[in-house]
């Protein structure tokens, strides 16, 4: 379903850190597949940005995870919105999704950096029986966004800036020490450099290219 230029009202905003928040808006019947994204701007404004959907397919609302960008024209302004204010929403778009047959039989490794965790949150909440492990590269341990939403033992924080994470170091270091089985389906989302480095490591460890999927945040 592709809704162009639809108006959705803000429901609420919840802060996760000083610079990151979740914006919840009306769903208004919009259907999407977990992993897709929306193009969003304040109603009447020309500035827009793409955001992966954070909420589950069957939730009765839509959510996006937003990291404020220094000098950002959209991320800072969205945070100031109040309940009832209007957003202009296009979408859904994108093919960073999991085929239904793979959901049942596949074993998954999700690799994220920063707010690139958003589509994996949607995967995990939409497909409760999914066999996955999620590794999340962040600078500080307080950026382990809503880790309580993931099943025990399936979320691993890779932290570079303090010693309070599950693993001290980058996700690429974790992958070298803990490579997945060659039949694992690996989905990567986040910083382009992380994705390139992780692809190289996974291929070195024997994973075939057809098992690697990426959504790049520049």
DSSP 3-state assignment of 8? strand
Check whether residue 58 and residue 165 sit in a common domain. Answer: no
Nearest to 61 by CA among 45, 95, 38, 93: 38
Check whether residue 77 and residue 161 sit in a common domain. Answer: no
- 199-209 in b/e form (b: 16+ CB < 10 A) is bebbeeeebee
What is the per-residue pLDDT across 27-75, written as a single tens digit (0 to 9) for each?
999 999 999 999 999 999 999 999 999 999 999 999 999 999 988 889 9
- Domain boundary, last residue among 59, 93, 127: 93
Q: How many domains does the chain have?
A: 2
The CATH code of the domain that includes 191 is 3.40.50.80
Q: For residue 5, what pLDDT is reported?
A: 58
Which residues make Cβ contacts (< 8 Å) with residue 103, sequence separation at least 6? 127, 129, 130
Q: For residue 217, what pLDDT is reported?
A: 73
Could you tell me if residue 125 is left (phi over 0), alpha (psi between -120 and 50 degrees) or otherwise beta?
alpha
Check whether residue 89 and residue 108 sit in a common domain. Answer: no
Q: Look up residue 35 and give its two tokens.
A: 């992993």
Check whether residue 213 and residue 110 sit in a common domain. Answer: yes
Check whether residue 171 and residue 212 sit in a common domain. Answer: yes
DSSP 3-state assignment of 95? coil
How much of the chain exceeds pLDDT 70, in percent? 97
Do the beta carbons of residue 8 and residue 53 sit within 8 Å?
no
Do the beta carbons of residue 202 and residue 212 sit within 8 Å?
yes
The CATH code of the domain that includes 79 is 2.40.30.10
Q: For residue 2, what pLDDT is reported?
A: 40
Check whether residue 77 and residue 160 sit in a common domain. Answer: no
Check whether residue 63 and residue 107 sit in a common domain. Answer: no
Check whether residue 13 and residue 75 sit in a common domain. Answer: yes
Check whether residue 134 and residue 183 sit in a common domain. Answer: yes
Q: Is the pLDDT of residue 106 over 90?
A: no
What is the per-residue pLDDT across 7-17, written as a single tens digit (0 to 9) for each?
999 999 999 99
The mean per-residue pLDDT over the stretch 119-139 comes to 97
Check whether residue 89 and residue 137 sit in a common domain. Answer: no
Check whether residue 63 and residue 78 sit in a common domain. Answer: yes
- Domain boundary, last residue among 48, 77, 93: 93
Check whether residue 211 and residue 104 sit in a common domain. Answer: yes
The mean per-residue pLDDT over the stretch 123-145 comes to 97
Dihedral sign for Cα atoms in the order 111, 96, 69, 117 = negative
Distance set, CA 209 to CA 100, 184, 189 (Å): 20, 11, 16
Do the beta carbons of residue 87 and residue 7 sit within 8 Å?
yes
- Residue 213 sits in which domain range? 100-217
Query: What's the CA gap between 56 and 80, in Å, rounded?
Result: 24
Q: For residue 1, what pLDDT is reported?
A: 40
Q: Is the pTM of this model over 0.75?
A: yes
Q: Is the pLDDT of residue 124 over 60?
A: yes
- Domain boundary, last residue among 93, 120, 154: 93
- 3 band by pLDDT with thresholds 50, 70 and 90: very low
């Amino acid at each position: 379903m592709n809704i162009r230029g639809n108006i959705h009202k803000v429901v609420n905003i919840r802060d996760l850190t000083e610079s990151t928040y979740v914006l919840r808006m009306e769903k208004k019947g919009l259907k999407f597949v977990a992993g897709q994204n929306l193009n969003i701007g304040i109603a009447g404004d020309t500035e827009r940005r793409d955001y992966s959907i954070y909420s589950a397919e069957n939730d009765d609302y839509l959510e996006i995870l937003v990291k404020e960008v220094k000098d950002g024209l959209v991320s800072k302004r969205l945070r100031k919105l109040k309940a009832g204010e209007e957003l202009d929403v296009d979408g859904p778009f994108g093919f960073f999704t999991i085929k239904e047959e793979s959901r049942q039989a596949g074993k998954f490794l999700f690799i994220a950096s920063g707010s690139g965790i958003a589509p994996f949150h949607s995967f995990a909440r939409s497909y409760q029986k999914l066999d996955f492990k999620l590794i999340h590269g962040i600078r500080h341990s307080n950026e382990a966004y809503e880790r309580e939403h993931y099943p025990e033992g399936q979320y691993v924080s890779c932290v570079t800036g303090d010693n309070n994470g599950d693993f001290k170091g980058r996700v690429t270091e974790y992958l070298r020490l803990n490579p997945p089985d060659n039949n694992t389906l690996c989905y990567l989302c986040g910083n382009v450099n992380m994705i390139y480095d992780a692809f190289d490591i996974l291929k070195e460890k024997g994973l075939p290219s057809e098992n690697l999927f990426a959504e790049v945040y520049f």
